[in-house]
Amino acid sequence: MKNSIFGAIGILCMLSSCSLFEADNYEAPSVALKGVVVDAQTGEPVLTDQGSEGIRVRLTELSWGDNVEHNPDFYCMPDGTFQHTKLFKGNYHITVDGPFIPLVRTDVDGKVLSDDSKTMELNGSHEIKMEVHPFLKVEWVGDPTVENGKIKAKVKVTRAVSEQFFREKIEPMGNFSPDFLNVKDIQLFVSYSSTVGYRARDERWSTKIDYSGNSFDTKLGQVIEIESANEIPAGRTVFVRAASRINYDTPRGTGILRWNYNEAKRVNIP
């Protein structure tokens, strides 16, 4: 019995001197990356939703080798900006996916056709600009008005890239369909939150207009009137945004049709 006790004590002493009990000498992640996604043609921020239907940011630390997995994805804020302040130092591949021409385009065999993503050595505080080509441009026409507790708004939707430009970029990726260019809907999101969007909407008042096939083509650039659903109680303050999307998912194969947005507006209900 004594021998067993002394043996156990000896093992514990040996373990206490090994690296299992040494302090963790790795520095805490403190590298900061701030960025903004902008329209390559106008320089304007690409407005988005603050959620998984918005602009996805993906970072991959290349320091670990060819088979490294990407970091957990995160998403832009509604104004098109993003930030991550808890990164480790390293060499990173940076890309974004959203309602715009993919930055990294490959053919059906996986061959890279074009790559406009970024690869950077991150070791301090960094600011970057990701230039993209949005699918659509959504604009307010005047200010929303209120009548009998319902918000009436006018919007205009145009293509931010031409059909020819879209085809030139997307068709070489394979399995192209002219239906990709079809405008699916116009949404009017209403919420108490200034970050109003698909993820922050009040379903009682938000509404949409659906379009089938290419029926919206004749309405491109035209003023579209859209009205909120149901009556909003008097004395409330809400925020509204309009959004529209085409029949093309990004990244390809995910089934996520991401909206292009306009800016949020505050509306007081008399």
Judge whether 122 lies within some domain.
Answer: yes
Averaged pLDDT, 116-143: 96
Model confidence at 2: pLDDT above 80:
no
Contact 96, 132 (CB under 8 A): yes
Q: Is the dihedral of CA 42, 44, 49, 50 positive or negative?
A: positive
Contact 99, 118 (CB under 8 A): no
Q: Which residues contact 45 (CB under 8 A, 6 or more apart)?
A: 36, 37, 38, 39, 79, 80, 81
Domain count, the chain: 2
Judge whether 16 lies within some domain.
Answer: no
% of the chain at pLDDT higher than 70: 89
Whichever domain contains 188, its CATH number is: 2.60.40.2060
| Domain boundary residue, one of 87, 114, 132 | 132
91 and 184 inside one domain: no
**Token pair belonging to 142:** 């005047």
How far is residue 50 from each of residues 12, 81, 198, 261, measured CA to CA in Å? Answer: 52, 10, 8, 11
pLDDT digits (tens, 9 = 90+) for 10-36: 444 444 444 444 455 556 788 999 999
Residue 115 φ then ψ, to 5°: -140, 105
Distance separating alpha carbons of residues 203 and 190, to the nearest angstrom: 8
115 and 228 inside one domain: no
pTM summary value: 0.88
Q: Which domain holds residue 96?
A: 31-132
114 and 147 inside one domain: no
The amino acid at 209: I
Model confidence at 197: pLDDT above 90:
yes
